[in-house]
Amino acid sequence: MTALTAARAWLAQDPDPVTREELADLIDRAEAGDESASTDLDERFAGRLQFGTAGLRGALGAGPMRMNRVLVAQAAAGFARFLRDRAEGSVPSVVIGYDGRRNSDVFARDSAELFQGAGLRAILLPRMLPTPVLAFAVRHLGAAAGVMVTASHNPPDDNGYKVYLGGSDDGAQIVSPADAEIAAAIQEVADGGSVAELPRSDDYAIADEDVVAAYVARTADVSPAPDTAAGMRWTYTAMHGVGWETMRAVLERAGYPLPDVVAEQIEPDGRFPTVAFPNPEEPGAMDLSFETAARSGAELVIANDPDADRVAVAVPTDTGWRPLTGNDIGLLLGARAARAAEGVAGAALACSLVSSPGLGVIAERHGLDWHETLTGFKWISRAPGMVFGFEEALGYLVNPETVRDKDGISAAVAVLGLAAEARGRGRTIADLLDELANEIGHFASGQVSIRVDDLSIIDRTMASLRADPPTSFGDLAVERADDLLEPADGETGGNILRYLLAGGSRVIFRPSGTEPKLKAYLDTRGATAEEARDRLADLEEAVRARLG
């Protein structure tokens, strides 16, 4: 089937006037001989967005390689088939949430209608809410599954479709083989005809506000404010996302003073007008936060990403604001969890294999187990005995009995608790990091990322590393190389290359699961902070040289 033929068939079933107009214009131009329009159609109809363990994520637009109402309808109908087969005769329920991105509410309502029309019990959250609230609702309501319409911290023109499973999966994100089974069911729907013929019903339920109230109460209990929190000045930004309403309710219940907010970024706005990428890790994304904090004399800055499943922290220095790394925050919160869990049989800390190995040192010091998993909370949340889990990309799971996924609101409350306790000793978050380094050693971590337009570049780079394995990075010899495409016994495989280097350093290469990036994760350890940082700088230079 040619792209033009496929585009005409897609157009005939598209219920969205915006994408219909977009696609009709491309068809008209391609038929008139416009080469750029023909190329665009070829790309949009070259395949379809693949449903994997991260669900769906991509740019908004017409065609199967974009996020749109046709693709979402196919996904919802396919997921409904999967759930019906899994339920073995019972009526499964599905909770649907959505954030403030463009079309998130539309995709969520379409999904609710299609789930209900397919014979499931669909429950739509009452308004745009953070991803952790949806993850909580799956368990709280005893649902068979949950869907969150979000692209998290992706660029403004993206959206996504994240899936959770209840029951024995305990409200965690999907993993293999469920992803492949769902993808196959979606393909059956896509091959079966027009989405206009799929049964729909608007008789779905709207979740009661008690669900949100229950999340707020459980999250406030993560770290109720001590007396030393009184008078604490801090700054918060929602990064144009949906975090503030829920965050404020949690703060008020937990007893923390409300922050000075970044007014320009506090309300949901899917255009993300003040940032190029709505990701606290991106250069410049927190500049407005730092300006607000400097004016108010804040003791720290806390930022959520747009769907509030991640949290970033920055602290003042003599020369400006210092954003803490994801590993900095993870080690502080890991030490907090380890102290609380010490002596509990089977308790464990967990992190992705690209996160700081310092968490393993903390676990050992407190007599806890430690698990390194593949990247993503679909794996971290399944670690046996896990009382705390994190990934270096600003994701933290501090309350596994409440939310089985990363949660930027509960993690923010835990950080505020640490800051308040330190405050009572005349100390700061920065001081806590120094104290922890004196206990476990000085770790430094960094990342080299290559963003590409052509994903084949990533494949070629990984193939080159395999074909011509590095024997050293700068002056650091490779002591062991692991290709996780061929994992050792007990390990889960993935497209990951790990190099353990002399002196305790390491480099890990992996393609991003959510963005068109190749990432190299760097970790070093030294007797002093300066030594660890110097080793990291040398290692970063060597990795960049290898990647060209």
Task: Please write the tens of the pLDDT for every residue from 275-301.
Answer: 999 999 999 999 999 999 999 999 999
Greater model confidence, 302 or 492:
302
Q: How confident is the model at residue 488 (pLDDT cuts 50, 70, 90)?
A: low
What's the pLDDT score for residue 153? 92
Q: What are phi and psi of 233, to 5 degrees?
A: -105, 130
The CA distances from residue 373 to 132, 267, 382, 404, 439, in Å, are: 21, 35, 9, 15, 25
The Cα 111–Cα 109 span in angstroms is: 5
What's the pLDDT score for residue 547? 87
Catalytic residues: 152
What is the bridge-based pairing of β-strands 506-511 and 497-501? antiparallel
User: Percent of the chain scored above 90 by pLDDT?
Assistant: 89
For 468-495, what is the mean pLDDT? 84
pLDDT in tens, 322-346: 999 999 999 999 999 999 999 999 9
- Tokens matching residue 370: 């430690």
Listed by start position, the domains of the chain span: 1-46, 51-207, 209-440, 442-547
The alpha carbon of 493 is separated from its chain's Cα centroid by a whole number of angstroms, namely 20
What's the pLDDT score for residue 492? 61
For 260-271, what is the mean pLDDT? 97
- The CATH architecture that domain 442-547 belongs to is 2-Layer Sandwich (3.30)
The Cα 263–Cα 272 span in angstroms is: 13
* Helix residue ranges, H only, 118-256: 131-140, 178-191, 209-220, 243-254
What is the DSSP secondary structure assignment for residue 527, as one 8-state letter? S
What's the pLDDT score for residue 427? 97
What's the pLDDT score for residue 418? 98
Report helix, strand and coil shares of the chain as percent, to nearest 5: 40, 20, 35
Is residue 45's pLDDT more than 80? yes
The alpha carbon of 130 is separated from its chain's Cα centroid by a whole number of angstroms, namely 12
Is residue 241's pLDDT more than 60? yes
What's the pLDDT score for residue 191? 95
Q: How confident is the model at residue 350 (pLDDT cuts 50, 70, 90)?
A: very high
For 406-431, what is the mean pLDDT? 98
What's the pLDDT score for residue 33? 93
Is residue 351's pLDDT more than 90? yes
- The number of beta carbons lying within 10 Å of the beta carbon of residue 252 is 12
The Cα 227–Cα 289 span in angstroms is: 26
For 254-260, what is the mean pLDDT? 98
Is residue 489's pLDDT more than 70? no
What's the pLDDT score for residue 24? 97
For domain 51-207, is the CATH number 3.40.50.970?
no
The Cα 419–Cα 125 span in angstroms is: 33
Is residue 213's pLDDT more than 80? yes
Q: How confident is the model at residue 490 (pLDDT cuts 50, 70, 90)?
A: low
CATH tag, 209-440: 3.40.120.10
The Cα 310–Cα 84 span in angstroms is: 32
Average pLDDT, the chain: 95
Is residue 487's pLDDT more than 90? no
Intrachain domains 51-207 and 209-440 with the same fold:
yes
User: Percent of the chain scored above 70 by pLDDT?
Assistant: 98
How many helices (DSSP H) and strands (DSSP E) are in the chain?
A: 17, 22
Contact between 499 and 472 under an 8 Å Cβ cutoff? The reply is no
For the whole model, what pTM was predicted?
0.93
The CA distances from residue 162 to 149, 461, 482, in Å, are: 6, 29, 30
What's the pLDDT score for residue 2? 92
pLDDT in tens, 526-547: 889 999 999 999 999 999 998 8
For 140-146, what is the mean pLDDT? 97
What's the pLDDT score for residue 548? 77
pLDDT in tens, 2-42: 999 999 999 999 999 999 999 999 999 999 999 999 999 99
Q: Which of 281-285, 312-316, 501-505 is least confident?
A: 501-505
